[in-house]
Amino acid sequence: MERTIVHINTENWACYIPIIINLPSKYTTQLQTPFRPLFMSVPRSSYLYFEKEKIFNHFEPVLKELEINNKNFYLQFNSEPVRWNAPTGVFFDMVCKSTNHPEKMPMNLQINFEKVPKKFIEFENETEFYNYYASTFKESCFLLSKSATITQKITENIMANIWNGLKNLSFDEYKRSVQPLEIKYYEQPSLAIRIFLNKQCIQKPIKPINQETEELITLLDIFKNLQLVENGKTVPMTYLIQGITPPLNTPLAFLSASCSHPDGFLYLIITTLN
């Protein structure tokens, strides 16, 4: 079982999402020189934030030509801002895959140099982003143990090593760094899960085992709890974890162990089709 979990995690960390970043027409119509979009492959398990400098460097000549002094920018998918603080794969599953239409590749993004939208979380520098990531990771750990049992073990050194594992996109390094925290998903009082139901986030403590039946809680149990099951069948909907649709009887503890993102959360993306 442990080897399967490690194998799945390794595969998830090795997945990339092809994206293309274009200029909106409001900028291209003003350009004298031809413009080339930016093509990238971004790790599903990582954050677009790490690509900010590369993106900016590609578009800097355009900024100079348009005489735009603003160095701040954000990305959009069909006018929906791409959050820097959401794992890339989570955003992709929410906007690109969870529709009635066939998945469109590459993910087509537009860059915008105007004032960022309200409530959009900005990070002035990498230190701010590190602090944000560290807090999210600690939040997931606290939720797992329903106490400070795990978070108390997270020293500055351990957190820095976990961060390096993420930045280097090395699951081996990440796994070694997390080892001292001794997280045992099947035995934890709760699981750290974020459910996006039609893009609305639901986060609640979910036990790995049903206390009455002593059976593992499965995806179907969660859907029943969310009232997405009628007459024994799920309502018309799509659901994704790391871009795939696991069987309904898959235990959540197994999914948490094998498919959680580097921030410690398992993301379940549900889109109802009504």
Judged by the rule CB under 8 A, the positions of this chain that interact with other proteins are 83, 85, 119, 121, 131-132, 135-136, 138-139, 142-143, 148, 151-152, 154-156, 201-205
State which residue, 63 or 134, has the beta carbon closest to other proteins. 134
State which residue, 156 or 230, has the beta carbon closest to other proteins. 156
Least Å distance, CB 153 to other proteins, is 10
Residue 59 to residue 24: CA distance in whole angstroms? 12
Residue 99 to residue 269: CA distance in whole angstroms? 11
Phi and psi at residue 207, in whole multiples of 5°?
Answer: -75, 150
Q: Count Cβ neighbours within 10 Å for each residue of 41-64 and write b for 16 or more, e otherwise.
A: ebbbbbbbbbbbeebeebbeebbe
State which residue, 92 or 142, has the beta carbon closest to other proteins. 142
Crossing angle of helices 126-145 and 156-167, in 10° steps, is 110
State which residue, 105 or 148, has the beta carbon closest to other proteins. 148
Residues paired with residue 74 on neighbouring β-strands, in sequence order: 112
CA dihedral 90, 202, 145, 156 (to 10 degrees): 50
State which residue, 21 or 221, has the beta carbon closest to other proteins. 221
Q: Is 240 helix (H, G, I), strand (E, B) or coil?
A: strand
Residue 127 to residue 70: CA distance in whole angstroms? 21
Least Å distance, CB 100 to other proteins, is 27
Least Å distance, CB 199 to other proteins, is 12
Residues paired with residue 266 on neighbouring β-strands, in sequence order: 193
Least Å distance, CB 192 to other proteins, is 9
| Burial (0-12, 13-18, 19+ Cβ within 10 Å), 127 | exposed
Least Å distance, CB 90 to other proteins, is 13
State which residue, 21 or 154, has the beta carbon closest to other proteins. 154
Torsion sign, CA atoms 175, 178, 181, 184: negative
E runs forming strands in the chain:
16-22, 38-43, 74-77, 80-81, 107-112, 193-197, 200-203, 229-230, 233-234, 237-240, 266-272
State which residue, 153 or 224, has the beta carbon closest to other proteins. 153
Least Å distance, CB 252 to other proteins, is 16
